[in-house]
Amino acid sequence: MTMSTKEEVLEEVKTTTQKENEIVLYNDDYNTFDHVIETLIYACEHTPVQAEQCAILVHYKGKCIVKTGSFDDLKPRCSKLLEEGLNAEII
């Protein structure tokens, strides 16, 4: 039994999606907006606008996905966030 092209594409999308990891940044009561923004620019290579939007989302929603990618790419980025005193994890 062979899969249709649509089934093959869906299977490929599932496989690709499952390999993606995410860095989630959590809100805290001690880091300033400026520090969070500067750290996101440095650690995640965000533009200033992206970093500001993430900082606002974290402040009002409590958390925000700040970067997606492979675990190997995200691990050093998450470490930089943690070293700067931010509360983040890879999920």
Residue with token string 């440095």:
42
The tally of domains found in the chain comes to 1
Residue 10 has pLDDT above 70, yes or no: no
**Residue range 1-23: mean pLDDT, rounded:** 65
**Residue range 65-89: mean pLDDT, rounded:** 98
Q: What is the mean pLDDT of the chain?
A: 90
Sheet of 21-26, strands arranged across = 63-69, 21-26, 87-90
Residue 19: the pLDDT is 73
What is the CB-side half-sphere exposure of residue 19 using CA atoms within 13 A?
Answer: 9
Residue 37 has pLDDT above 60, yes or no: yes
68 is a domain residue: yes
Task: Flag whether the pTM goes above 0.85.
Answer: no
- Domain encompassing residue 59: 31-90
44 is a domain residue: yes
65 is a domain residue: yes
- b or e along 17-53 (b: 16 or more beta carbons within 10 Å of the residue's beta carbon)? eeeebebbbebeeebeeeebbebbeebbebeeeebbb
8 is a domain residue: no
56 is a domain residue: yes
Distance CA 70, CA 35 (A): 25
53 is a domain residue: yes
Residue 16: the pLDDT is 53
At residue 54 the predicted structure's pLDDT band, cuts being 50, 70 and 90, is very high
What is the CB-side half-sphere exposure of residue 30 using CA atoms within 13 A?
Answer: 4
12 is a domain residue: no
- N- to C-terminal Cα separation, the chain: 36
63 is a domain residue: yes
